[in-house]
Amino acid sequence: MRTEDLEQLEIDLLLEGVYRRYGYDFRQYARGSLRRRIYKRVLDERVASISSLQERVLRDPQAMERLVLELSINVTAMFRDPTFYLALRTKVVPLLRTYPFIRVWNAGCSTGEEVYSLAMLLQEEGLYDRTRIYATDINERVLQRAEEGVFPLDKMRGYTENYIKAGGRKAFSEYYKAGPRGATFKRDLIENVVFAQHNLVSDRSFNEFNVIMCRNVMIYFDKALQNHVHDLFHRSLINFGVLTLGRKESIKFTSHENCYEAIDGLERIYKKVK
């Protein structure tokens, strides 16, 4: 057996074991990125192989927690892709104004950068008071961090630039207080946010939404799982509801291509039409 095939087998067994022991299903995650992250655990746990990592993870729930964290953290930034937020402001906000109540699902919210960005935008547009944002992630630890709302101070310069390019109307620094732990964001930004654990692989739809935001989350899934999640989103959106994806994710290569029309094709903002 070639080394690559042996490694594939070890990864298969690890994922199967994790699924049967803990119920977390990473079996349909894209393998390239998964492999890198698993090797990072092998290194940090100081074990000799993926098989040894499997033994530890199955017997030690804390090692499992560290693995979940490694596999599920997705690095993002406030107002990542400023032009996307600008398009939200100019093309989606007018649509949202027509609804008396707005439900937004930020699926795979990770440490919350998008939630806070969205909350600022909706506050400035005067829509926040009639909005509820459901921010979900598979990982409870990152949800706690998102709820705390403390972000590294050294990121603020970049975020401020993004905020300005995204059409922000205030001084970005009005939204946070700098302290020894970092930049603590104002609590009223998450007044209408519900943080909840939700697993896109195995959990069902839990509401009907006007907007679903899921950017750079499905890139970690294989095509079959992507289609499964698209099905979930499609069933969770109201008619003419808005789906937004990451800048390099297209609805084009998915099973639900024909269910959406582009509101802004370049920014991957789509409207459900059937």
Partner 1 sequence: MANYSLVVIGCSWGGFHSLREIFNVLPGDFAVPIVVAQHRLAQGPDGLHTSLQSASRIPIADVMDKEPLLGGAIYLAPSDYHTIVEGKYLALSTEEVVQFARPSIDVLFESAANSYGNTLIAVILTGANEDGAEGLRRVKELGGYTIVQDPKSAIRREMPEAALAKVRPDRVLTIEQIGPHLVELCSSKVGGDDGRP
223 lies in the binding site for partner 1 (CB under 8 A) = yes
23 versus 32: smaller Cβ distance to partner 1: 32
Write phi, then psi, for 12 (nearest 5 degrees). Answer: -55, -45
Residue 28 interacts with partner 1 (CB under 8 A): yes or no: no
Token pair, residue 86, equals 């600008």
DSSP H helical ranges for the chain: 3-22, 31-44, 50-59, 61-72, 82-87, 93-96, 113-124, 140-148, 156-165, 223-236
Q: Is 132 near partner 1 (CB under 8 A)? A: no
Span 61-90, contacts to partner 1 by CB under 8 A: 74-76, 80, 82-83
Least distance to partner 1, CB of residue 43, Å: 14
Question: Per CB under 8 A, does 218 bind partner 1?
Answer: yes
| DSSP3 helix / strand / coil % (the chain, rounded to 5) | 50, 20, 30
Check binding of 186 to partner 1 (CB under 8 A).
no
209: left (phi over 0), alpha (psi -120 to 50) or beta: beta
Q: Does 250 bind partner 1 (CB under 8 A)?
A: yes
How many amino acids of this chain bind partner 1 (CB under 8 A)? 30
Binding residue for partner 1, selected from 123, 216, 236, 244, defined by CB under 8 A: 216
175: left (phi over 0), alpha (psi -120 to 50) or beta: alpha
Query: What is the contact surface with partner 1 in residues (CB under 8 A)?
Result: 2-4, 30-33, 35-37, 74-76, 80, 82-83, 216, 218-220, 222-223, 226, 246-250, 252-253
